[in-house]
Amino acid sequence: MDFWGWFQDNEAMLSGMAAALVILGALATVGRNFLLRILGFSYGHKTLSLTELSSPSPFPIKFAQSEGVNIAYNVQGKGQHTLLVSPGIISNLHVSSNLPPIKNTMESLAKFSRVINFDKRGQGLSDPVSKVATISERVRDIESVANATDSEQFHLMGISEGGPMSVQFAVENPDRVRGLILFGTTPRFSRSEDYAIGLSERALDSVGANWGEAVARDILFPSISREVMDDETYRGFEKLLADRRSIIQIVEYMKTLDVRDLLADIKCPTLVIHFSGDLAVPLRMGRYLADHIPNAEFLEIAGVDHCDLGNAPKAIDAIRAFMGR
């Protein structure tokens, strides 16, 4: 399949040690899920349906105005510090409130902070738009949500595709960002002559080409067992989030993203977190971020997940300590 071509394209670039880490991470994930199922704590003890995934979020949905566009957001937790989260490639506040990896991650963060999640313009519960928003428009969406929630100063967390927009916001608004957390992300997704560690065009194109076919589930959400969500439900889940045409447009946008020239201008404390065996955004891309941001901290977490911190207490503890400084 085309998506597995992504792995083949990038495999040659991995060192033997990195390849070993991927294998060990996969074995650890399988063992973890097996043990957790025995103990009754895994995502596998309850089968999810599309109806459950799309059920309303338990946290009230509100809207911020951004250049005449309604940006949906919600707030959970009442901690001393505020954490505003820029989501990955596609978001829907209802679905993310019910999808175990995202739900558990946000619940863990909300134990010690006021967590603000939002849907980017054109996605989820936010107003539809005629074309994929530019990174500058997305930066203004962050600002609108921060203003609507009376968040004068806050910590900003960029997850996956939400990383570059978070970097740009932090550089343009140094007085508002107390700290920047970059998780499973990169300053540039596309491979180029001066960024050989990026993803191939074939790999990126396969995301859109295979959307709705459950091809990427073991790359994006390996912690969701098939007992919790079978492939048929997962295919419905992808289609629930977006149609193939929309994802193809987003991927084309991702190919244009490049905030490498901004990294040296980040003034706030920065924490970069990456799973050692992340197959969607490989570890090398997270290391690049940390190496090019002044005084950034880098935390490598064992495992193959892309965006599930709910099962990574070391990462949650690091974020808690980072925000408490």
Q: Which two tokens mark 47?
A: 């089968």
CA angle at 212 for the pair 256 and 104, rounded to the nearest 5°: 85
Q: Domains in the chain: how many in total? A: 1
**pTM (2 d.p.):** 0.87
Domain annotation covers residue 65: yes
Domain annotation covers residue 299: no
Domain annotation covers residue 298: no
- pLDDT at site 12: 46
- pLDDT at site 287: 98
Q: Which two tokens mark 274?
A: 């990456």
User: What are the average pLDDT values for consecutive 10-residue runs of the chain, which has 325 residues?
Assistant: 48 42 42 40 66 95 97 96 96 95 95 98 96 96 98 97 98 98 98 97 94 91 90 94 95 97 98 96 97 98 89 95 96
Domain annotation covers residue 262: yes
Sign of CA dihedral 200, 202, 203, 208: positive
Which phi and psi angles does 201 have, rounded to 5°? -60, -35
| DSSP 8-class letter at 264 | G
Place of tokens 């019910």: 98
Domain annotation covers residue 300: no
Domain annotation covers residue 166: yes
Strand 270-275 to 297-301 pairing: parallel
Which phi and psi angles does 95 have, rounded to 5°? -65, -45
Parent domain of 117 = 2-293+305-323
The three-state secondary structure class of 71 is: strand
CATH of the domain at 44: 3.40.50.1820
